[in-house]
C-alpha cells in the first residue's frame, strides 16, 4: 500500500489529507481540532487524525506533499515589492525576516514539524515533495470528480504567481492551458470589496455574496470602467492604482475610496444601502468574468464537462448562474474548494502525475464520499464524553431518535445534529449541522440572532431529498455539497404586495416569499444541498420522516457553530455549542439532549462564555 500525505499551511485554513493507493481515506482542517477559526498553523492534529483514521504508522507514509512552492512564492513577494518601490518600503523591511524564515526555509520548518509529531527517526526531507498552488487546486477539482475528462477552471486570490488557471483533465493526465498572474486577481478584487464593505478578508467574502441581493448593481459599470478591464475570453487586468494589496498595507487606497464616495465601513458599523449596492455590483462583475472564462475554455477545448476549485468557486451564486447558462453538460465543484482542499489536490497530483497511477473508480459518482472525511465517534466515546461534560442525556434507538428529531423540527425547535464523520470543507452537510423547520417565518431571524449570533441579513440553506429537488426548486440535478444557488419553484412562491415590493435593503428581510420562508432569500433563491441515501443514510431518513409528518421534504441546514468559531468536531464541542446557544435539542450519535433537562448553572456558564467572546 502506498500512502501520500498532503498538507496545506501557513496562510489560512491549513489542512491535511491522506490518500492510500489513490483512495481518499481522511481529510480535515486544523481549525476543527485547535478551535481557532481559519487556523493557519502547521496542521499537527489534522495529520495525527489522518494517520489514526487509516490505522497506519508514520513509517508507512511514502511521501509528504506540500500544496505550493514556497521559494516561488517568495520570488513573487520580492519582485512585487521591487516593482512597486518605494511604496510600502517600511512594510517590506519589517516583513523581510519573517518571509526569509517562512518561505526560503519552509522545507526545514516542515521537516521539523513532522519530526515533532511523527518521529525524528524518519527521513522526512527525503519524503518531501512540493506541488504548485493552482496545480493542487486543479488536481483537487478533477481527480475526485465523476468525469473521465473535463475542462478545469481554478480561481482564487493568488498562489505563487497564478490567480486563475484553465486546464484540461483526461483520465490521469492534467494539463494547464492558460494562466492569469498576480497582481491581476478576481479573488483579490472581491476581497477588496469585502474589506471596503467592512468585512474580514479571507472569511467575509461569503457575507458580501449574501448581502448582494439586498442591493442593486449600480456600481458595476464603474468597476468595469475604472478597476477591471475584462476581455471577451474572460481574461482581465486590474488598474493597480486603486489597490494597495501588492505592498501589504491594505486592500484599497484613497483613490479607491474617492471613487466610491468615502472611506471603508468600519467593522460592525451600520450597513447602509451603499454597502448593499457595492456587494451587488462586485457580485455581478464576478459572474460576468466567470461566464466568459467558462465560454472560452468550452470553445477552445470542446469539453462537455467542467470542474471548479479555488476560493472563488465557493461563490455558489455565480456557480448557479454558470449551471443555468448550460455552457457545459455537467459541472462538478470541489467541496473543499479553498486552500484546505489544496492538501487533497497536492496528494492526488503526486499519485497520478508522479506515479502515473489510474484513478480509483467510484460506484456512487465522485471520490469525495459525500465530503465525510473527518473524525467520527462511536456511542461509547460519545457517552463517555457527555458524562465528563456534565450533560443530561437519553440513549435512543435509531427509529426513536429519527422520530423525536423530526417532531422537534416540526415543532419549530432548533436542533443540533452531530452524526458520523465530520465534513471536509467549509459547509456542514448533515454531519455537523443545526437543523430547523423551513416553513417557519420566524426561523431565519431566530437562528441568526439567538443561535448563530451573527448578522440578521445572512440567509440559510435547505437540505432537500434528492428525489424531490425539482418539485421545490428550479434545479434538476445533484448539488450534494451546497455549492449551487437556484430559485425556489414558482409554485411554492408568494406574490408580493406593492408595499412589499417598494421596500429597500434590510427592510425586505421580513417579507414571507414562499412556502419555505426560512430558506428563501430575498431574491427568491436558495443555496441547495441535495441529500442522498447512499452517502448519508441517517440524515436522509430524518428528512424523509420530516416529510411524512409535514409534507415538506427539506429542512434548514446551517453549520453547527456560532459566529467566530469553527464547526464542531467532537461531542464535547457539540455540547458546549448546545449549552451556550438557544438550541433546544441536540442529537449526538444515538443520544438525545434536551435543553430543559440540563443543569441551569452550566447553561449560564456557557452562555456567559459566548457573550464574553
Residue 222: per-residue pLDDT? 98
Mean pLDDT, residues 359-370 taken together: 84
For residue range 265-320, what is the model confidence (pLDDT) as tens digits? 998 788 999 999 999 999 999 999 999 999 999 999 999 999 999 999 999 999 99
Q: Residue 98 pLDDT > 70, yes or no?
A: no
Q: How much of the chain is in helix, strand and coil states, percent to nearest 5?
A: 45, 20, 35
Per-position b or e across 193-218, b if 16+ CB within 10 A of its CB: bbbbbbbebbebbbbbbbbbbbbebe
For residue range 121-166, what is the model confidence (pLDDT) as tens digits? 999 999 999 999 999 999 999 999 999 999 999 999 988 889 999 9
Residue 349: per-residue pLDDT? 96
Cβ neighbors of 53 (< 8 A, separation 6 or more) are 18, 25, 26, 375
Confidence of residue 361 (pLDDT cuts 50, 70, 90): confident
- Alpha helices (H) in 526-593, listed in sequence order: 537-550, 571-580
Mean pLDDT, residues 564-589 taken together: 96
State how far the Cα of 333 lies from the Cα of 75, in Å rounded to an integer: 31
Mean pLDDT, residues 420-431 taken together: 97
State how far the Cα of 478 lies from the Cα of 604, in Å rounded to an integer: 42
pTM, two decimal places: 0.94
For residue range 374-408, what is the model confidence (pLDDT) as tens digits? 999 999 999 999 999 999 999 999 999 999 999 99
Residue 610: per-residue pLDDT? 65
**Are 180-333 and 379-612 equal in CATH topology?**
no
Confidence of residue 603 (pLDDT cuts 50, 70, 90): confident
The bridge status of strand 305-309 relative to strand 330-333 is parallel
CATH superfamily of 180-333: ATPase, nucleotide binding domain (3.30.420.40)
Neighbours of 311 (CB within 10 A): 24
When the pLDDT of each residue in the chain is averaged and rounded to a whole number, the result is 92
Q: Rounded to a whole number, what is the distance in angstroms from the first to the last CA of the chain?
A: 46
Neighbours of 523 (CB within 10 A): 17
State how far the Cα of 38 lies from the Cα of 564, in Å rounded to an integer: 10
Percentage of the residues of the chain whose pLDDT score is greater than 90:
78
Lowest mean pLDDT across 40-49, 89-98, 177-186, 447-456: 89-98
Q: Residue 613 pLDDT > 60, yes or no?
A: no
- Among 25, 9, 37, which residue's Cα sits nearest to residue 117? 9
Percentage of the residues of the chain whose pLDDT score is greater than 70:
93
State how far the Cα of 47 lies from the Cα of 28, in Å rounded to an integer: 8
Lowest mean pLDDT across 84-88, 433-437, 476-480: 84-88
Contact status, residue 294 vs residue 328, Cβ threshold 8 Å: yes
State how far the Cα of 28 lies from the Cα of 565, in Å rounded to an integer: 16
How far lies 463's CA from each of 101, 434, 442, in Å?
Answer: 45, 11, 18
Domain boundaries, given as residue ranges, for the chain:
3-67+69-130+339-367, 180-333, 379-612
Q: Count of alpha carbons within 13 Å of 100, Cβ hemisphere only?
A: 6
101 vs 60 pLDDT, higher one: 60
Q: Residue 612 pLDDT > 50, yes or no?
A: no
Residue with cell 465523476: 146
Mean pLDDT, residues 573-591 taken together: 96
68 vs 500 pLDDT, higher one: 68
Write the DSSP assignment of 147-202 as a string of letters.
-SEEEEEEE-S-SSSEEEEEEEEETTEEEEEEEEETT--HHHHHHHHHHHTT--TT
CATH class, 3-67+69-130+339-367 region: alpha beta
CATH class, 379-612 region: alpha beta
State how far the Cα of 84 lies from the Cα of 314, in Å rounded to an integer: 31
Confidence of residue 87 (pLDDT cuts 50, 70, 90): low
For residue range 314-337, what is the model confidence (pLDDT) as tens digits? 999 999 999 999 999 999 999 999
Q: Residue 19 pLDDT > 60, yes or no?
A: yes
Mean pLDDT, residues 468-482 taken together: 96
Amino acid at each position: 500500500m502506498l500512502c501520500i500525505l498532503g498538507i496545506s499551511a501557513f496562510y489560512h485554513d491549513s489542512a491535511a489529507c491522506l490518500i492510500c493507493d489513490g483512495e481518499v481515506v481522511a481529510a480535515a482542517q486544523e481549525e476543527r481540532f485547535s478551535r481557532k477559526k481559519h487556523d493557519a498553523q502547521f496542521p499537527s492534529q489534522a495529520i495525527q487524525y489522518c494517520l489514526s483514521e487509516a490505522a497506519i504508522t508514520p513509517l508507512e507514509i511514502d511521501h509528504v506533499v506540500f500544496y505550493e512552492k514556497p521559494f516561488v512564492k517568495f520570488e513573487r513577494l520580492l519582485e512585487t515589492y521591487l516593482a512597486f518601490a518605494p511604496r510600502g518600503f517600511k512594510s517590506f523591511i519589517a516583513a523581510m525576516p519573517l518571509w526569509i524564515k517562512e518561505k526560503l526555509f519552509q522545507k526545514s520548518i516542515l521537516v521539523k514539524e513532522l519530526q515533532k509529531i511523527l518521529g525524528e527517526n524518519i527521513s522526512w526531507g527525503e519524503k518531501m515533495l512540493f506541488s504548485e498552488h493552482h496545480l493542487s487546486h486543479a488536481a483537487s477539482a478533477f481527480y475526485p470528480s465523476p468525469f473521465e475528462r473535463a475542462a478545469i477552471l481554478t480561481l482564487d486570490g493568488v498562489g505563487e504567481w497564478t490567480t486563475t488557471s484553465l486546464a484540461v483533465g483526461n483520465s490521469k493526465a492534467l494539463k494547464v492551458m492558460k494562466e492569469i498572474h498576480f497582481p491581476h486577481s478576481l479573488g483579490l478584487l472581491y476581497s477588496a470589496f469585502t474589506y471596503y464593505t467592512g468585512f474580514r478578508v479571507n472569511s467575509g467574502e461569503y457575507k458580501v455574496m449574501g448581502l448582494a441581493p439586498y442591493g442593486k448593481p449600480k456600481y458595476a459599470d464603474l468597476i468595469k470602467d475604472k478597476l477591471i478591464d475584462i476581455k471577451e475570453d474572460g481574461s482581465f487586468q486590474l488598474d493597480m492604482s486603486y489597490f494597495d494589496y501588492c505592498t501589504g498595507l491594505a486592500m484599497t487606497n484613497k483613490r479607491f475610496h474617492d471613487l466610491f464616495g468615502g472611506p471603508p465601513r468600519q467593522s460592525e458599523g451600520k450597513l447602509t444601502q451603499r454597502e448593499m449596492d457595492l456587494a451587488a455590483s462586485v457580485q455581478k462583475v464576478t459572474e460576468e468574468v466567470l461566464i466568459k472564462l467558462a465560454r472560452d475554455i468550452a470553445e477552445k477545448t470542446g469539453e462537455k464537462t467542467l470542474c471548479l476549485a479555488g476560493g472563488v468557486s465557493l461563490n455558489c451564486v455565480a456557480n448557479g448562474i454558470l449551471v443555468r447558462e448550460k455552457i457545459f453538460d455537467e459541472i462538478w465543484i470541489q467541496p473543499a474548494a479553498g486552500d484546505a482542499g489544496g492538501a487533497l489536490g497536492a496528494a492526488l497530483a503526486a499519485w497520478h502525475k508522479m506515479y502515473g497511477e489510474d484513478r480509483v473508480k467510484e460506484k456512487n459518482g465522485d471520490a469525495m464520499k459525500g465530503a465525510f472525511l473527518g473524525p467520527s465517534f462511536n456511542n461509547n466515546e460519545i457517552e463517555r464524553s457527555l458524562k465528563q461534560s456534565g450533560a443530561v442525556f437519553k440513549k435512543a434507538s435509531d427509529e426513536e431518535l429519527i422520530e423525536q428529531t423530526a417532531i422537534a423540527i416540526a415543532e419549530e425547535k432548533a436542533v443540533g445534529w452531530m452524526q458520523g464523520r465530520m465534513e471536509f470543507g467549509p459547509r456542514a452537510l448533515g454531519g455537523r449541522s443545526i437543523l430547523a423547520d423551513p416553513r417557519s417565518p420566524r426561523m431565519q431571524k431566530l437562528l441568526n440572532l439567538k443561535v448563530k449570533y451573527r448578522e440578521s441579513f445572512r440567509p440559510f440553506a435547505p437540505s432537500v431529498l434528492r428525489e424531490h429537488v425539482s418539485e421545490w426548486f428550479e434545479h434538476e440535478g445533484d448539488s450534494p455539497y451546497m455549492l449551487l444557488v437556484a430559485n425556489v419553484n414558482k409554485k411554492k412562491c408568494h406574490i408580493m404586495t406593492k408595499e412589499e415590493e417598494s421596500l429597500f435593503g434590510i427592510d425586505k428581510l421580513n417579507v414571507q416569499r414562499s412556502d419555505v420562508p426560512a430558506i428563501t432569500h430575498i431574491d427568491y433563491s436558495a443555496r441547495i444541498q441535495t441529500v442522498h441515501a447512499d452517502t448519508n443514510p441517517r440524515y436522509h431518513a430524518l428528512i424523509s420522516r420530516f416529510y411524512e409528518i409535514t409534507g415538506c421534504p427539506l429542512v434548514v441546514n446551517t453549520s453547527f457553530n456560532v459566529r467566530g468559531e469553527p464547526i464542531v468536531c467532537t461531542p464535547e464541542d457539540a455540547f458546549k455549542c448546545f449549552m451556550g446557544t438557544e438550541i433546544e435539542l441536540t442529537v449526538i450519535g444515538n443520544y438525545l439532549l434536551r435543553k430543559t433537562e440540563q443543569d441551569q448553572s452550566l447553561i449560564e456558564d456557557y452562555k456567559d462564555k459566548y457573550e464574553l467572546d
